[in-house]
Structure 1
Amino acid sequence: MPILTELCSADFGDPDTVPRPVVAYGVISETPGIELDHHRHRKAQLLLPLRGVLTCQVDQGLWLVPPHCAIWIPGGAMHAIKSSGPIEGYNAFIEPAAASGLPTAPCTVSVTPLLRELLVRIAGFPAPYHEPGPAAHLVTVLLDEIAAAPVEHLNLPMPTDERLRRIARMMLGAPAERGSMKSWARQAGLGERTLARLLLRETGMSFGRWRQQLAIVLALQWLAQGATVQQVAADLGYESAGSFVTMFRKALGTSPARYMARQQAVSVVA
């Protein structure tokens, strides 16, 4: 059975001080939402929600963490975490030396049943667990599974220029507003060409591509929370569900229904 500790009453201590390659624990919170302000760990972090949806701001990116995925946060990276409802899941903190073959940049990864069950099992180990022994062997397998986990493109690069960040905040706050790049540039006191040049330089994306990625990130979050395709299409300002589905299929290679069905099948807890 999953080993979960009530988040509001838990005292996990500082995982950075535990002298083991991996320390893991399970958490559960029934509060309407949690918000952890910007902080960092010496160790890398893998965060897997089993229930609920997390958003995580890491450095200059906004990352979506739906229940079928986990987010990888490299050691030392500044990050903030927010959930919009009850949450349960698992945290693993990995020593930098043990993470040498793991991703060096933040990313969202698909979670296989084996990876999920390894986190559940390791969360039940005492901290620190005995070395050498069976626990250490399972930790080695966990590290191999993290290294092999497929990366999902569920992040929204955030610009550093304050004028662009103002546009990003406005678009995140009103995703149904389908104004042109010229109209958004005007609201930030920028020329259209200046906006395009700055956004490409800071995010590597054109304005249209960036806005599409924003729609994908929000859509996956809302779909994971139970919204229908029709509701998501309306909330994103699409004229019809069909036009939203077309955009989604071009971006992710499949329809929203098939994408969510496939990913939710992976995340079912045995």
Structure 2
Amino acid sequence: MPILDSLEAENDPDEVPRPVVAFGLALATPGLELGPHRHRKAQLLLTLRGVLTCEVESGLWLVPPNCAIWIPGGALHAIKASGTIEGYNAFIEPADGIGLPASCCTVAVAPLLRELLVRAASLPVDYPESGRESHLVTLLLDEVAAAPVEQLHLPMPANERLRRIIEMMIADPADRGTMASWARRAGLSERSLARILTRETGMSFGRWRQQLAILLALQWMAKGASVQQVALDLGYESAGSFVTMFRKALGTTPGRYMSTLRRTAEPGDDDSSHV
């Protein structure tokens, strides 16, 4: 398959009679948005450079460098990207996805899985379904099933007043208002806000806002923002308090987390010419 300058393939992947259809991506755009749509086949979208956000039914997912989002077949989803995006896109036949995730998730991509995606993207659309190609596809599916899941998911409520709160929070993430103040802005009581948010997302207000802060922080750091700047933009009194929150949530510091994500995606990497 060729390297594409769009998130949409020239051939409809759902119509290609192969268990895996993969292609490379090389996008340079000030802003790209692919509206709500769905595929019969499952989708694995890997970013090597740049950051994607993907809203899948009731959740918002962040895809930073060297991670991939897994979207089950039939799931309604929308994708947004900005800046330079490089990576790989693979569509997987549901019948061949035994052992693969049943729900949407962001997964970390090990070097072997990345190389398998590179190799799969180099195959012709109608590659032979036996021999070396068959072994490559089988190993690719095994590696996707074994990929560790990253906590880069923000459950999204369906309630319109809660969605307005989310829009305001994203527009001004430094606003550290209390739950009571946010409830008043949405015309809700504090108790109603807590009840609806828990029912629709499974999270408390504090936990939900913390997860939003983590996703925004990772998005900004992937674009080059410093920890100090991110802490300031999120309304934290100091970088130290932000780092403490981040470590409690993800088990490591922001710097180490981003270093791990970027380890195999830096300019000059031996595989960068594949994209």
User: TM-score if structure 1 supplies the norm length?
Assistant: 0.96
Query: Does residue 149 in structure 1 map to residue 147 in structure 2?
Result: yes
Q: Which residue of 2 aligns with 1:7?
A: 6
Q: Which residue of 1 aligns with 2:230?
A: 232
RMSD of equivalent CA atoms: 1.5
- Conserved in 2, the CA contact under 8 Å of 1:111 and 1:267? no
Query: Does residue 62 in structure 1 map to residue 60 in structure 2?
Result: yes
Q: Which residue of 2 aligns with 1:130?
A: 128
- Conserved in 1, the CA contact under 8 Å of 2:127 and 2:133? yes
Cα distance, 1:3 vs structure 2: 6.2
What is the rounded CA distance, in whole Å, between the counterparts of 2:231 and 2:2 in structure 1? 37
Cα distance, 1:11 vs structure 2: 5.4
- Structure 2 stretches lacking a partner, 5+ long: 271-275
- Conserved in 1, the CA contact under 8 Å of 2:29 and 2:82? no
What is the rounded CA distance, in whole Å, between the counterparts of 2:16 and 2:151 in structure 1? 32
Cα distance, 1:160 vs structure 2: 0.6
Cα distance, 1:166 vs structure 2: 1.0
What is the rounded CA distance, in whole Å, between the counterparts of 2:29 and 2:164 in structure 1? 30
Q: Deviations over 1:17-55 (max 9, x none)?
A: 000110000111112121100000000000001111000
State the AA in 1 paired with 2:263.
Answer: A
Q: 2:91 aligns with which of 90, 93, 97?
A: 93
- Conserved in 2, the CA contact under 8 Å of 1:51 and 1:67? yes
Query: Does residue 178 in structure 1 map to residue 169 in structure 2?
Result: no
Q: Which residue of 2 aligns with 1:251?
A: 249
Q: Which residue of 1 aligns with 2:101?
A: 103
Q: Which residue of 2 aligns with 1:203?
A: 201
What is the rounded CA distance, in whole Å, between the counterparts of 1:144 and 1:172 in structure 2? 37
Cα distance, 1:263 vs structure 2: 2.0
Comparing 150-159 and 127-136, the one that deviates more? 127-136
What is the rounded CA distance, in whole Å, between the counterparts of 2:9 and 2:159 in structure 1? 38
What is the rounded CA distance, in whole Å, between the counterparts of 1:177 and 1:11 in structure 2? 41
State the AA in 2 paired with 1:196.
Answer: A
User: TM-score if structure 2 supplies the norm length?
Assistant: 0.94
Cα distance, 1:170 vs structure 2: 1.0
- Conserved in 1, the CA contact under 8 Å of 2:71 and 2:104? yes
What is the rounded CA distance, in whole Å, between the counterparts of 2:243 and 2:48 in structure 1? 26
Q: Which residue of 1 aligns with 2:273?
A: none
Q: Deviations over 1:39-74 (max 9, x none)?
A: 000000000011110000001101000012000000
Q: Which residue of 2 aligns with 1:48?
A: 46
What is the rounded CA distance, in whole Å, between the counterparts of 2:260 and 2:15 in structure 1? 38
What is the rounded CA distance, in whole Å, between the counterparts of 1:241 and 1:132 in structure 2? 54
Q: Deviations over 1:190-223 (max 9, x none)?
A: 0001100110111000000000000000001111
Cα distance, 1:5 vs structure 2: 2.8
Q: Deviations over 1:104-132 (max 9, x none)?
A: 11000000000001001110101121121
Percent of pairs identical after alignment?
Answer: 69
Q: Which residue of 1 aligns with 2:190?
A: 192
What is the rounded CA distance, in whole Å, between the counterparts of 1:79 and 1:35 in structure 2? 11
Counterpart secondary structure, 2:83: coil
Comparing 89-98 and 259-268, the one that deviates more? 259-268
Cα distance, 1:6 vs structure 2: 2.7
